[in-house]
Amino acid sequence: MVNMKKHMSTLQNIFSLTALLFALTTSAAAQWRQLEPGLELGKFNSPLYPPADSTKIHILRIDPKLYELRLLNASHPDQGRSLTALDWGRKEKLSAVINAAMYQTDYLSSVSLMRTSQHVNNSYVSKDKTILVFEPLRKNIPPVRIVDLQCDDFESIRPLYGSMVQSIRMISCAGKNVWQENGKRWSIAAAGTDKQDNILFIQTTAPHSVHEFVNILNSLPISIDRAMYMEGGSPSQLYIGTPSDTLQFIGNFSTGGRSMAAPVLPNVLGVKKR
């Protein structure tokens, strides 16, 4: 058992080093493309897959000074019903849409805290360690931030923002990978912030273990600061709709299957030009 643990630790160290070297040697190949001022799309290769379009890691970099986040809920009386990310985007005239955390078996309620200043989807603060806060209620505070419940005083931050989405932490406030490896792989949607205070919408259709994926994100030249898990498998989606581009990325079930169509989502994060 001890030898097995040492072997697994060695393999993880080798993977981390390989991912870092891969990112450093291929960073020039990473393509950032401006869709609109304040909105850029990056495509990055995963070291686990050949460099085909379907295996890219797509990262939408959003300047919160030019774009605002919106939380949309099917449980809101004025927002209607569950829709795909693409249909949410078209209905609400959004520049981008991604999953807003995982949901319960009622297909409406988030697993953890989720609310805006106008609507409460779930008031429960769970044990999950990260909360995305936005819709600032005072001037001269960051428009968006990811609160780490182990490092930040959430109770002092809570009154400052109207909208909150809680989910599972991927990268801690110290920049560490806090997701344990379990060998299971699926498509992933995540949200993050970088060291320049941009918002990151992240999606990979190619299945990864979350632990592997966090190591890759930490090795990419994207200055990632914090990150939180939004969804996995076939529900994980990223939609981008600008005057020049309409893009939709839909997750796989796992390494064993591919979704033929995008599932509907009860809760999403949208991006709208200020």
pLDDT per residue as tens digits for the range 243-261 = 989 999 999 854 444 556 8
Q: Which of 31-35, 188-192, 213-217 has the lowest mean pLDDT?
A: 31-35
Can you name the residues that pair with 33 across neighbouring β-strands?
41
Query: Which H, E and C letters describe 176-187, residue by residue?
Result: CECCCCCCCCEE
pLDDT range class, residue 43, cuts 50, 70, 90: very high
pTM: 0.88
How far, in Å, are 34, 91, 123, 222, 259 from residue 60 at the CA level? Answer: 10, 20, 29, 11, 22
d(CA 55, CA 49): 6
The arithmetic mean of pLDDT across residues 203-231, rounded, is 97
Q: Are strands 114-115 and 246-250 parallel, antiparallel or unpaired?
A: unpaired
CA 24 to chain centre: 23
CA distance 173 to 92: 33
Q: Cβ contacts of residue 23 below 8 Å, gap of 6+?
A: 44, 47, 216, 219, 220, 221
Percent of the chain with pLDDT over 90: 82
Q: In terms of residue numbers, what domain contains 91?
A: 2-273
Domain count along the chain: 1
